[in-house]
Amino acid sequence: MPELPEVETTTQGLRKTILRLTVKDVWTSYDSPYFHGSDSIKDPTYFKYFKKTIKNQKIKSVNRRAKNILINLSNKYTILVHMKMTGHLMYGDYNKKDPYNRHIRLIFYLSNGKTLELCDTRKFAKVTLLPTETMHETIHLKNIGPEPLEKEFTFNIFKKQINKKPNGKIKTILMDQNIIAGIGNIYSDEILWESSVHPERKVSTLKEKEMKIMFKTLKEILKKGINFGGDSMSDYRDINGERGKFQIYHEAYRRAGEKCRKRNCKGIIKRKIVNGRSAHFCDTHQT
């Protein structure tokens, strides 16, 4: 699933390409009985409303909140796109040779003759429409925790947030979107590996020094993910349909059975299910 760095990479790409363009039309192949009666474009009735509302509207700005892309329109409505497990947005003449770019479920036709397309292999992505002024009060956004790369996200805020669940396992807590926004399986593994903290450690057992190291590492690794254009170990591609490069620098995620690369560590990377999610960690230096 695209996490903060992948969603931020996409958001930055959209800011460079679609601002001030007008949505001339929109098409989708989504139609799921499970979503009928909901505020999802997977409901054909809702999609008609969605289409009518966004047609001929100018794209004013693009923002990110956690793993959500927010495309703000001139009529004071916002298109929310959550790429979920296998989704990614692509613009214009993207790389069509990549098989992961061929499952197009949604197309926005733009005023410059180009398109913005949502590729979603497993059809899990969420697209809906929100009033811009009140969107952060809706069920889609209101309970999300603080953004970890904002200046306001200090060590004291980090400490306060994770201590909301002192008996929780730190791997699970880092991925809890109500605690901290945007972190998922990949980056939690990498943060904990670098911080030398075992994924099953309870928050209450963490020492102040360990939390400070984790706080610093969290910011560094998320920034690194953005700098390398996100992680394309699986489906994710940027708006040009190209792979990110963060997967080249994995130290823990999906390296089970390999030697730990921590200096002077002789451990092996293990994989274990922690509260229903896979965790990759070193069996020696992560304690």
Active site amino acids: 2-3, 67, 277
Question: How would you class 171 by CB atoms within 10 Å of its CB: exposed for 0-12, middle for 13-18, buried for 19 or more?
Answer: buried
- Contact yes or no for 251/261 (Cβ under 8 A): yes
Cα–Cα distance for residue pair 59/124, rounded to 1 Å:
25
If DSSP codes are grouped into helix, strand and coil, which group holds residue 18? coil
H or E segment at 209?
helix 208-227
Q: Cα 281–282–287 angle (5° rounding)?
A: 95
The CA–CA distances, whole Å, from 116 to 31, 89, 103, 282 equal 19, 7, 13, 41
Cβ neighbours of 163 (radius 10 Å): 15
At 99 the three-state DSSP class reads: helix
- Over the Cα atoms of the chain, what is R_g? 20
Give the Å distances, CA to CA, from 101 to 25, 41, 86, 225, 241.
21, 20, 10, 21, 7
Residue with tokens 């304690």: 287
